[in-house]
Amino acid sequence: MLGRQPWAEPVLEWRAPCDYAALQDRLRRDAELLTTWPVAPSEAFPTDCYRLGEQYWISQRSVGAVQFTALDPHLFAYPFPDGDDSWFREVVQRAWLPAIYPFWGRQVIHASAAGPSDTSDVIAFTGPTLAGKSTTAYAMGRRPGWRLISDDTLAFTTPPGDGIRLHPLRNDARLRPASADYFGRTGDAFEPVEWPSGPLSLRAVYVLDGVDGRSEPPHFENLGVAERLPLLLQQAYALSFKIPKYNQELMTAYAQLAASVPVYRLRFQRSFAVAGALFDAIDQHAAAELNLQTSAGVTRPTSA
């Protein structure tokens, strides 16, 4: 990690609204602009990331700003004056904090995950926006003997000799309207995900590659390490590539992830009409290739 302290759960300190105009003037005058994140869905303005001495700042007009260092897992959050405080907290915890975590010793990949409810095993689903990560993990989590582990963000470390360890990061299950309709979900769009007690281990990553109109059944391709790494890096939460130490640790962690865990490209027909067949295929593949066992009472084959 960039800081010198052993891992501790981050402290989020929610402060009073800041003088945003004065803060921006100071940052533009005295700080180094590391990067500007483009406008994301549901946002109105881009997000700026600055370095000012040992301090790092992330700010977005109409939303607010956060300040932190690499030496201490303590985040100070300042909402925009007259802004939506609940939305600010959502942006910080859902979008900004995953990119800050690597400063404090954990990487975060843009993935959703599920696993057997009575074991420590987890499988993750990743891919570009609209690939179906949340829908697929949510569906697997509803199957007998399975549970939902995370939605959209998955924090991990690579301890020597201990595989890939997963760690809690606050998130909620969120489904787009079509997926919510498919599962019969109504009411609150956010469904809190409860992190299981006990350690969890990542057993496999599925890179989702849905195609409209595909007629073939779901196909699982076991990728080589050289193919895995760029696909995983595309889904890494990263603040800026202008921080050499930060990026060195990120590259090392993702290289270990690619070398330690099987990664499958999963090609499938993107249609709710055949979604059940996709989820069945994932269940069967996890049993046959990964020997994942559930408490559902179904005898599953194992690979030869």
Contact of 166 with 155, CB cutoff 8 Å: yes
Q: Which range of residues forms the domain containing residue 196?
A: 108-290
Instruction: Output the pLDDT for position 187.
Output: 60
Average pLDDT over residues 136-147: 95
pTM for the full predicted model = 0.89
Give the tens place of pLDDT for each residue, 233-289. Answer: 999 999 998 899 889 999 999 999 999 999 999 999 999 999 999 999 999 999 999
Q: Which of 8-12, 190-194, 284-288 has the highest mean pLDDT?
A: 284-288
Domain CATH code at residue 210: 3.40.50
Residue 7 vs residues 42, 160, 164, 199, 279: alpha-carbon distances, Å: 33, 15, 16, 15, 36
Asked whether the beta carbons of 232 and 254 are under 8 A apart, the reply is yes
In a domain, 89, yes or no: yes
Cα–chain-centroid distance for residue 97? Answer: 11
Q: Is residue 200 part of a domain?
A: yes
Ramachandran angles phi, psi of 39, nearest 5°: -60, 125
Quick check: is 98 in a domain? yes
Indicate whether 204 belongs to any domain.
Answer: yes
Q: Rounded mean pLDDT of 182-194? A: 78
d(CA 89, CA 95): 10
Q: Write the single-letter amino acid at 138.
A: Y
Structural domain ending residue among the three candidates 105, 130, 147: 105
243-259 residue pLDDT tens: 998 899 999 999 999 99
Residues 171 and 285 in one domain: yes
Residue 41 shares a structural domain with residue 123: no
Mean pLDDT in residue range 83-110: 93
pLDDT band at 161 (very low <50, low <70, confident <90, very high): confident
In this structure, are 265 and 182 located in the same domain? Answer: yes
- Whether 118 and 71 map to the same domain: the answer is no
Q: Are 204 and 124 in contact (CB under 8 A)?
A: yes
Note whether 48 and 59 are within 8 A (CB): yes
Q: What is the mean pLDDT of residues 289-302?
A: 64
Q: Which of 31-35, 251-255, 276-280, 293-297 has the lowest mean pLDDT?
A: 293-297
Residues 238 and 144 in one domain: yes
Q: 218 and 243: one domain? A: yes
* Cα 111 from Cα 128, distance rounded (Å): 10
Q: Which two tokens stand for residue 291?
A: 């020997």
Measured between alpha carbons, how far is residue 268 from residues 127, 183, 212, 278 in Å? 13, 19, 9, 7
CA-to-CA dists, residue 189 to 174, 176, 184, 197, 282, angstroms: 6, 9, 12, 25, 26
pLDDT category at 6 given cuts 50, 70, 90 is low
**DSSP code, position 273:** G
User: Of 74, 105, 136, which residue sits at a domain end?
Assistant: 105
Give bridge partners of residue 155 from the DSSP assignment: 108, 167
Last residue of a domain, one of 66, 83, 105: 105
Q: Number of structural domains, the chain?
A: 2
Residues 132 and 89 in one domain: no
What is the average pLDDT across 128-148?
A: 93
Amino acid (1-letter code) at residue 270: R
Does 38 score more than 90 pLDDT? yes
Q: Note the pLDDT of residue 296.
A: 64
Residues 165 and 253 in one domain: yes
Residues 138 and 98 in one domain: no
